[in-house]
Amino acid sequence: MKAYRFLSEDDTSQFCHKVSEALAKGWELYGEPTYAFDASRGVMRCGQAVVKVVEGEYSPDIKLGQL
């Protein structure tokens, strides 16, 4: 099965660490990163989709962060 996650965070080094951790765990980048301004908080937000092929069948109970 191919698992999909969308990682998001404020535009800080924490976002880069989150994506780097996913890559280190075997996830692959999927598409381009996104950026948006969160007007209610006055900050830029980043997002990046990642995918990973894993054994088994899909279930909504899967903890994607643990794959």
CA 45 to chain centroid, in Å, comes to 13
* pLDDT category of residue 65 using cuts at 50, 70 and 90: confident
**Cα–Cα distance for residue pair 47/53, rounded to 1 Å:** 20
The pTM assigned to this predicted structure is: 0.88
Tens digits of per-residue pLDDT, 8-39? 999 999 999 999 999 999 999 999 999 999 99
